Amino acid sequence: MAYWCLTRVEDSVGDPPQGRRKRAASKYCIDVQVLNRLGDLVSEKGGDDARKARGASTPYSDAERSWIDATVKALICRLGEVANAPGGVHQKITMADLPNLP
């Protein structure tokens, strides 16, 4: 689910595929580190919830699962805020706004 959300955020800025994450971060006022960390976690880990086979042997820690949940909620809220006020000023979502990760 988290990977799907990240993909939809990136797809929303259109083509070309190169640089979509950076363009999405700019459009939605989200630090690109947040999107990169989410992408890394959902691509490389997950245990039974893994998106890829190589992540099946490495389950998420409780902290990672909490971080992913909080990040997806923040992304969904931000997309709604931008849809409601496309030209508005939005406070950048940074790693400091999310639960700590070890």
Q: What is the pLDDT of residues 49-59, one digit of tens each?
A: 777 777 778 88
- Would 15 be classed as within a structural domain? yes
CB 98 within 8 A of CB 35: no
Give alpha helix (H) positions in 1-102.
2-11, 20-28, 32-44, 62-84
Number of domains in the chain: 1
Residue 13, in any domain of the structure: yes
Q: Is the pTM of this model over 0.85?
A: yes
Domain assignment present for 77: yes
pLDDT at 57: 83
Is residue 80 included in any domain, yes or no? yes
Containing structural domain, residue 85? 2-97
The answer as to whether 102 is a domain residue is no
